[in-house]
Amino acid sequence: EAQVTQNPRYLITVTGKKLTVTCSQNMNHEYMSWYRQDPGLGLRQIYYSMNVEVTDKGDVPEGYKVSRKEKRNFPLILESPSPNQTSLYFCASRGQGNQPQHFGDGTRLSIL
């Protein structure tokens, strides 16, 4: 089954404790991206990747890092999380051209 898998689904942690949210897709998609979704603000893009070893900033990249060492994986790293990064995060992937985005089920992060 074609899917985007994120882990963990839920995480409560404390300020400053490094964390990684993993994202994996099994559709051999070139493009992958991370979004955060906050009430009233909609989906905002954090980082995206057009292929292996090619990443670029989205609209709200501050406080986040990503890497794309393999085509299927695109982890999101919070080196020193802060409470303003409490949010619902989505990973997405898509193929070339006008192919639609496939989203994971989301990761709800709470930073205390």
Which residue lies nearer to other proteins by CB, 29 or 82? 29
Q: What residues between 33 and 92 interact with other proteins by CB under 8 A? A: 33, 35, 40-43, 45, 48, 50, 56, 58-59, 88, 90, 92
**Size (the chain), residues:** 112
CB of 77 to other proteins, least distance (A): 19
Residue 1 near other proteins by CB under 8 A: no
Minimum distance from residue 53 beta carbon to other proteins (Å): 15
> Which residue, 36 or 111, has its beta carbon nearer to other proteins?
36
23/4 Cα distance (integer angstroms): 7
Q: Interface residues with other proteins (CB under 8 A)?
A: 4, 31, 33, 35, 40-43, 45, 48, 50, 56, 58-59, 88, 90, 92, 98, 100-106, 108
